[in-house]
Amino acid sequence: MSGKPKRKGVELDNDDDIVIESPFVDPNDPMAAFLPKSFGKQAVAKSAVQHDKLKRTDISSAPPTAPSKVFPGAGNTRSTGDDDSDRDGGDSDDDDGSDDDDEFPTSHEVLIKDHEKAVTSVSLDPSGMRMVTASHDSNIKLYDFTGMASNHLHSFKTIEPREGHLVHKAEFSNSGENILVIPSCAQAKVFDRDGYEVVEFVKGDQYLRDMNNTKGHVSEVLGGTWHPTDKNLMVTCSSDSTVRIWDVNQKRQQKEVIVVKSRTAKGGRTRVMCVKWDDPTQGGKKLLGAGSQDGSLTLWGGDGPFNRPMATVEDAHEKELGVCSVAFSKDGNLMVSRGLDGTVKSWDTRKFKKPIMTRNDLPTASQNTTISFSPDSSSVLTSDSAGNLHILSPATLRPDLTLAITPSIPVISTLWHPRLNQIFTTSSDATVKILYSPKTSSRGAITILSNALKKRHFDDDPSLTTDIATGMNADAIYLPNAVLPSKTKSLAQASQLANAYKPFKPHTTPFGKSTPDEEHIKKNVALSGMRDEDPREALLKYADKAKNDPMFTGAWKETQPVTIYNNDREEEEEEEEDRTKRLKRF
């Protein structure tokens, strides 16, 4: 048998090319436009042009201050960052940059600016398809990555939980069904994933001194989070010196109330600024931790009882500035705290007395500044007021990576989503940035860039729409379907568009040609026609009859005095007219 290839029993020479037959159609034939060019599913070419445009130019930058100062807490001995070169490998070359790209998803970024003021928090559901942000503009915004595109980075819903109140936090539950919203008032709220309000918790009696007897917070709620396993439970902390555990199905009263007593604050009360639950599903110890404005840290057992804390550190951070965020590691043995005094401290929950390590060169001014662990607890994420994102080593608190997110503009909240492998940051300039890597990240920003570009909608043109938030003139009349002639090419086109939206006029029925009810009233109801008659004309109609035949005044007709009118004014007017006529003659 020869080595020539065969196709359907026909021998082909090696020099012959295989020709795929295609239907012959004249190019001028109108049918040519409807015939496919090729068969099978057409894969959309995912060019790297978009990723190249979004690539960060400064993958890694040095910390804003000279070498970072880290203080071991046990011996209180100072160790500077002089050995950073040894830890990084001394004579490291450009290969370190590629290693950072693979380890941390920070090579590219997507910028979202949909708020008007500082964005205080960002949260995603477990699937990583929906995102919620809270801001000082009193709004929370819901995003769906499947409905977004690179030219349409906008939310699908905007909610104002409490009019005129800024929002501290908005967080998805672990099931992704509900969102806990913390406005700057005494009542926290819960919304579902579509933005509809589920429950608003009750406000306590502010005239009661004992906080154990109040059914809710009596002053501003500062923080809160969901229970890691129970989708119906959440915890909130407030400036009334209490931590309260709530059930979504019970809004009239909290399930548990924990009164935080301060030894240094006046009256034994302090502002509880942050609270966090340890996750037992990851191997944690079921702990509940809270940080207060008096600089103290408190730990309770996650399942109670809560009448007495397990451990307390009074001077964990500087007094009057307080602790703005706490986080637990995956195994629950390590806790990190972030203070407004510019320090980050790591704690051993088994020996909760002194910090293991302390870093004091991370200034911040926002009480919503967060600190969190990476999904595998191998890194710690936090930010500073210089606009940098710091990825620290949890063992030494030395920087593994420092990124300039928004230079000279404070970065507030940070989040590393485990499923997307993307880092989300919020800043005081109302921006949200998604850091990702095309190699290691999935969904999220990748979904946004892979979606087809959105066509420009009529509502996207601000000259053709009205912003209700800015207010409307009370004297103006707004027609939803009206088309202004100045916005169209001609008056004829405007009239044509207006007629297209003109409501349909119903056909005239036999009953619509007349008013049978009105005719029935005129025929059968006496004096019904008087309603359509002028009252003055109705009275004057009987004037002559009353004069000729006085029915009621005939008794005193003979004794009725003659009416005499005073005509002095008329005589004066006549004399005045004669005087003016004489003057005109001369």
Nearest to 263 by CA among 298, 222, 232, 300: 298
Ramachandran category for residue 444: left, alpha or beta (phi over 0 → left; psi -120 to 50 → alpha): left
Q: What is the mean pLDDT of the chain?
A: 80
Per-residue pLDDT, 68: 46
- Stated as kind and residue range, the H or E segment containing 18 is none
Which residue is it, tokens 């030395």?
A: 398
Per-residue pLDDT, 349: 92
Most confident of 168-182, 305-319, 498-512: 168-182
For CA atoms 48, 50, 52, 56, the dihedral sign is: negative
457 pLDDT above the threshold of 70: no
Q: What CA–CA distance (Å, rounded) separates 144 from 61? A: 32
Rounded to an integer, the average pLDDT of 194-219 is: 93
106 exposure class (CB count in 10 Å sphere: 0-12, 13-18, 19+): buried
Ramachandran category for residue 90: left, alpha or beta (phi over 0 → left; psi -120 to 50 → alpha): left
Q: CA-based angle 230:234:240, to the nearest 5?
A: 155
- Give the range among 210-214, 267-271, 552-556 with minimum mean pLDDT: 552-556
Q: What CA–CA distance (Å, rounded) separates 142 from 157? A: 5
Query: Could you tell me if 364 and 385 are in contact, meaning their C-beta atoms sit under 8 angstroms apart?
Result: yes
Can you give the pTM of this predicted structure?
Answer: 0.68
295 pLDDT above the threshold of 60: yes
Residues 6+ apart with CB under 8 A from 557: 550
Ramachandran category for residue 460: left, alpha or beta (phi over 0 → left; psi -120 to 50 → alpha): alpha
152 exposure class (CB count in 10 Å sphere: 0-12, 13-18, 19+): middle
What confidence tier does 425 reach under pLDDT thresholds 50, 70, 90?
Answer: very high
Per-residue pLDDT, 219: 94
What confidence tier does 88 reach under pLDDT thresholds 50, 70, 90?
Answer: very low
94 pLDDT above the threshold of 90: no
- Give the range among 67-76, 331-340, 540-549, 565-574 with minimum mean pLDDT: 67-76
pLDDT in tens, 28-78: 666 666 666 555 544 444 446 788 888 888 655 444 443 345 656 543 433
Per-residue pLDDT, 467: 52
Nearest to 237 by CA among 305, 161, 197, 180: 180
Per-residue pLDDT, 93: 42
pLDDT in tens, 426-451: 999 999 999 999 999 999 999 999 98
Q: What CA–CA distance (Å, rounded) separates 568 from 530? A: 43
Q: What CA–CA distance (Å, rounded) separates 116 from 137? A: 6
pLDDT in tens, 151-180: 889 999 999 999 999 999 999 999 999 999
Tokens of 340: 């407004």
87 pLDDT above the threshold of 90: no
Give the CA dihedral 205, 208, 210, 212, nearest 10 degrees.
-20
Q: What CA–CA distance (Å, rounded) separates 343 from 325? A: 11
Query: Could you tell me if 160 and 181 are in contact, meaning their C-beta atoms sit under 8 angstroms apart?
Result: no
Q: What CA–CA distance (Å, rounded) separates 457 from 451? A: 17
Residues 6+ apart with CB under 8 A from 329: 335, 336, 373, 377, 394
Per-residue pLDDT, 576: 85
Nearest to 254 by CA among 186, 323, 173, 170: 186
Nearest to 119 by CA among 141, 98, 152, 102: 141
Nearest to 432 by CA among 190, 222, 178, 141: 141
- Give the range among 75-79, 327-331, 332-336 with minimum mean pLDDT: 75-79
pLDDT in tens, 98-124: 555 568 999 999 999 999 999 999 999
Q: Which fold has domain 52-77+100-454?
A: Methylamine Dehydrogenase; Chain H (2.130.10)
Greatest alpha-carbon span in the chain: 153
Q: 554 or 307, which is more confident? A: 307
Residues 6+ apart with CB under 8 A from 186: 203, 204, 216, 217, 218, 219, 220, 221, 238, 240
pLDDT in tens, 351-401: 998 999 999 999 999 999 999 999 999 999 999 999 999 999 999 999 999
Tokens of 50: 């978009």
Q: What CA–CA distance (Å, rounded) separates 195 from 413? A: 22
Rounded to an integer, the average pLDDT of 449-460 is: 76
The CB density around residue 211, as the number of other CB atoms within 10 Å, is 19
Tokens of 249: 């199905």
Of all residues in the chain, the percent with pLDDT exceeding 90 is: 50
Q: What CA–CA distance (Å, rounded) separates 152 from 59? A: 26
- Looking at the DSSP assignment, which residues form a beta bridge with residue 259? 242
Q: What CA–CA distance (Å, rounded) separates 230 from 246? A: 11
What confidence tier does 326 reach under pLDDT thresholds 50, 70, 90?
Answer: very high
pLDDT in tens, 249-283: 998 899 999 999 988 777 788 999 999 999 887 77
Per-residue pLDDT, 217: 95
The length of the chain is 586
Per-residue pLDDT, 542: 82
96 pLDDT above the threshold of 50: no
Tokens of 252: 């009239």
Query: Could you tell me if 310 and 295 are in contact, meaning their C-beta atoms sit under 8 angstroms apart?
Result: no
